[in-house]
Amino acid sequence: MGKHNEVQIPDRMKKDIADCVAVLKAGGLILYPTDTVWGLGCDATSETAVAKVFALKQRAESKSLVTLVSDMDMLARYVHVIPSMAIDLSEVNDSPMTIVYPGAVGLAPNVIAEDGSVGIRVPKHEFCQRMIFRFNKAIVSTSANISGQPTPRRFSEIDPAIVSGVDWVAPKYLEGTPVGKPSQIIKLGLDNEITVIR
């Protein structure tokens, strides 16, 4: 729990977190800012909810999705083993980084890659971390665009079809200062082998 309770959450954000979590619990889709770009999200453990994300993006379900967790404790619930290199990387890396872990567990099958791996990131974004912590489960994070279209860096760049296709849209004040580009992606093996994907 720790760091998520140390600072008082503004009442406005508390309400937005509660509204967002209610939609996630009901299997709905959310449109929300992250530390990279605006994301489409849902409960990463619900196969039905994840299928809605693929449908809205008009993307084949054969592609895996990145998930977000609030901290390393939550991460441990979704992979068999956390390679030691992952902890080292998370402590030294300042820019957003998604790590692809072998041996995914507890997630919807349509989130996991064919080889059993899953890409997971701990976002450095206050709203994201607090909302995921409150939801107490991993959420999907895929760019808020129709497949093949440019990735929206700011809310103003999101296709209206995406905005109208979700059940909850984060208020603009939560946007903060995303970096405006997708995270770096690194794949780790159980013996700390590293492959840079993006």
Q: Are 65 and 144 in contact (CB under 8 A)?
A: no
DSSP designation for 10: P
Q: Are 137 and 44 in contact (CB under 8 A)?
A: yes
Cα 178 from Cα 192, distance rounded (Å): 29
Of 38 and 95, the structure prediction assigns the larger pLDDT to: 38
Residue 156: Cβ within 10 Å count: 9
All domains in the chain, ordered by first residue: 3-196 (3.90.870.10)
Tokens linked to 197 = 């994907």
Beta bridge partners of 139: 43, 68
DSSP designation for 44: T
Beta bridge partners of 10: none
- Residue 22 — φ and ψ, nearest 5°? -60, -40
- 29, pLDDT greater than 80: yes
Model confidence pLDDT, tens digit, residues 45-82: 999 999 999 999 998 776 778 999 999 899 999 999 88
DSSP designation for 195: E
- 184, pLDDT greater than 50: yes
Write down the pLDDT at residue 179: 56
Model confidence pLDDT, tens digit, residues 93-140: 777 778 899 999 999 999 999 999 999 999 988 899 999 999 999 999
**Prediction pTM value:** 0.87
Write down the pLDDT at residue 165: 97
- 26, pLDDT greater than 90: yes
From first CA to last CA, the distance across the chain in angstroms is 31
